[in-house]
Structure 1
Amino acid sequence: MSPHTSLHDDLTAAQRCLDELTRTVARLENTLGSGLEVRRVRSDAEHLRESLALLRAASPAAGAPGAAHPEMVTIPDKPYDHGLWSDVDDEGVGAKDRHAP
């Protein structure tokens, strides 16, 4: 087995795992609702999908003839849910009622 085939197999296996993670997160969201914790897990899964696509594109096998193109990610036009930033004080941005000296 060539190194490219092994790399391709590993990337394909990682993609299958991410697909299953995405399906599982959707089931969790249906069960638990779309609270902050579930939205964070969904967002993390989406970031993993994007990172894997970048890794696939940067891999040596990407330049090989017949190599698959990374999946295109659609960015929705709708505004972001403002609830995503409800914990900004924990993120080091500061409290909304305080001002800089």
Structure 2
Amino acid sequence: MSLNDDLTAVQRCLDELVRSVTRLEDRVGAGGLEIRRVRTDADHLRESLALLRDTAPGAERPRPEMVPVPDAPYNSALWSDVDDEGLGARDRHAP
């Protein structure tokens, strides 16, 4: 098994743990200290796995979605009702 496969398997197990804790909260109530500790521990495990996935050598990381930015200038009509930042309103002057 590759590192990525192991991390994915652990993620699936943690997801199932979180679902089980949610069902358990529904049965015993979410107000008790013990169930809150279990919920917090499960959340910490998920955060720790995310950190491990981000820092593990050779692990595949999801790439951020690329957003294309056009080269054409923006339509100036989009900005007709706003003030120039830091310069004040067009029809007023600084004190």
TM-score tier by shorter-chain length is 0.5 to 0.7
2:21 is matched with which residue: 18, 22, 25? Answer: 25
Give TM-score, length-normalised by structure 2.
0.61
Specify the alignment match of 1:11 in structure 2. 7
Looking at CA atoms only, which structure, 1 or 2, has the larger radius of gyration?
2
Q: Does 1:42 align with 2:39?
A: yes
1:69-80 correspondence to structure 2 within 5 Å: none
Unmatched runs of 5 consecutive residues or more in structure 1: 70-101
Aligned partner letter, 1:55: L
| 1:8-43 CA-partner distances (Å, limit 9, x unpaired) | 000000000000000000000000001110000000
Moved over 2 A (4+): none
Between Structure 1 and Structure 2, which shows a larger proportion of helix residues? Answer: 1
- Displacement of 1:61 in angstroms is 2.1
- Displacement of 1:60 in angstroms is 1.0
In 2, the alpha carbon distance for the partners of 1:9 and 1:21 equals 18
Unmatched runs of 5 consecutive residues or more in structure 2: 64-95
Specify the alignment match of 1:81 in structure 2. none
Give TM-score, length-normalised by structure 1.
0.57
Backbone CA RMSD of aligned residues: 1.5
Aligned partner letter, 1:45: A
Give me the identity figure in percent. 66
Specify the alignment match of 2:62 in structure 1. 68
In 2, the alpha carbon distance for the partners of 1:36 and 1:49 equals 20
